[in-house]
DNA sequence: TCCATTGCTTCGAGACTTGAAGCATTCACG
DNA sequence: CGTGAATGCTTCAAGTCTCGAAGCAATGGA
């Protein structure tokens, strides 16, 4: 393992995310969203079963009270609804509203437009995805 | 450009940084530091001329009041000192203290140990660094 | 000299994050 | 079955982070 390469890769990873976030700020503000709420919105895949709070907290590397707060913001903005999981009535699942799906798709599209990663060619992107996929948490 | 690849790459980038941060939390707490203060500490290269607040704010994608706050935290913990730039007495530069250098080196080492990127082989890391270096801000 | 600009800080407000404590539901065990 | 431990989420209080507006000192151009 090469320390300089590892350092550079980690720094670049961080920088790319921060820059993407920075370039996304205006678009988020247009929906009264912030990086934290967008991240949660992004983590809600419209094509999967609505995840529980517990699952979402793990997905976002945050704790339960934090997710309660973030979810409250999304509910307040009409993008998400809470529902009781019939399988376990202690559990609450996060359900995208139609507006939530719309906003999520729009912002995700914008994120892909502004991210510095968009400068890579198709082939470079495939290599990158392959490398990162080996170490990132399985989606 | 392939949208799924771009989406996956951006998500992986974010995930890797968040996970690294998560795994680093304990080590940071040992020095009463947080992700925000660590990020600032990391951005202070001991081998370069001490950067001005303005330069650091750009480097960290934050605004001036925010950096003033973060710098205050680092100064309070004895890791950084403020100094007047003799070239322009309006400007303040951030100088690492000896303790600051020590803590920075220690935490950077820990970060490289815990980051998921450490699982990649030397050759994979070289490829990754080459790809990311093409789009990340020049260090 | 004058005053617009620049670099930083202060201030006030809002957003985020956390641990401790509380509530309802589920589960294990007798 | 009952009963208590464990689980999932929320509330609360406190602290951290982030931002825009306003202020101060230094600089620089007319």
What are the domain boundaries of chain B? 3-133
At the second CATH level, the architecture of B3-133 is Orthogonal Bundle (1.10)
Q: Is B51 helix (H, G, I), strand (E, B) or coil?
A: coil
Q: Which residue among A112, A128, A135 places its CB closest to the CB of B3?
A: A112
CA neighbor of A44 nearest in space, from A132, A137, A108: A108
Extended strands (E) in B68-131: 80-84, 92-96
Largest interatomic CA distance in chain B: 51
Instruction: Reduce the DSSP state of residue A84 to 3 states and report it.
Output: strand
Residue A119 in contact with partner chain B when CB distance is under 8 A: yes
**Is residue A56 a contact partner of residue A94, using CB atoms and an 8 Å limit?**
yes
Average pLDDT for B77-85: 97
- Name the token pair of B46: 């001991």
**Is pLDDT above 70 for A1?**
no
Give the model's pLDDT for residue A15: 96
Reported confidence tier of residue B139, pLDDT bands at 50, 70, 90: low
Give the separation between CA A132 and CA A134, rounded to whole angstroms: 5
Nearest residue to A104 via CA among B76, B7, B126, B97: B7
Whether the CB of B71 is less than 7 Å away from nucleic strand D comes out as: no
D strand bases under 7 Å from protein CB: 7-13, 16-22, 25-28
Q: What is the mean pLDDT of residues B27-42?
A: 96
Chain position carrying tokens 């820059």: A19
- CB A115, CB B6: distance < 8 Å: yes
How far: A37 CA to D21 C1' (Å)?
Answer: 26
pLDDT at B82 over 80: yes
Hey, what CATH class is A3-135 in? mainly alpha
* CA A64 – CA A69 distance, rounded (Å): 9
**B115 to A22: CB separation less than 8 angstroms, yes or no:** no
Q: Do A108 and B6 touch (CB under 8 A)?
A: no
Q: How confident is the model at residue B136 (pLDDT cuts 50, 70, 90)?
A: confident
Residue B133 touches chain A, beta carbons under 8 Å: yes
Beta-bridge mates of residue B96: B80
Res. B96 pLDDT band, cuts 50 70 90: very high
Q: What are phi and psi of A136, to 5 degrees?
A: -70, 160
Residue B13 pLDDT exceeds 60: yes
Confidence of residue B1 (pLDDT cuts 50, 70, 90): low
Question: What pLDDT, on the 0 to 100 scale, is given for residue A139?
Answer: 65
Backbone angles phi, psi at B88, to 5 degrees: -150, 100
Could you give the C-alpha distances from B50 to A82, B41, B80, in angstroms and in order?
50, 12, 10
Place of tokens 């080196």: B105
Q: Identify the pLDDT of residue A113.
A: 95
**A13/B117 touch (CB, cutoff 8 Å), yes or no:** yes
């Amino acid at each position: 393992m090469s320390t300089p390469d590892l350092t550079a890769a980690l720094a670049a990873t961080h920088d790319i995310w921060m820059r993407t976030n920075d370039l996304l700020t205006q678009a988020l503000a247009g929906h009264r969203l912030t990086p934290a709420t967008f991240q949660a919105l992004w983590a809600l895949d419209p094509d999967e079963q609505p995840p529980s709070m517990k699952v979402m907290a793990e997905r976002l590397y945050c704790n339960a009270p934090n997710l309660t707060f973030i979810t409250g913001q999304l509910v307040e903005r009409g993008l998400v609804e809470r529902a009781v999981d019939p399988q376990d009535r202690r559990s609450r699942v996060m359900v995208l509203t139609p507006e939530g799906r719309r906003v999520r798709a729009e912002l995700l599209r914008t994120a892909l437009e502004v991210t510095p990663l968009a400068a890579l060619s198709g082939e470079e992107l495939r290599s990158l995805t392959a490398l990162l996929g080996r170490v990132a948490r399985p989606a």
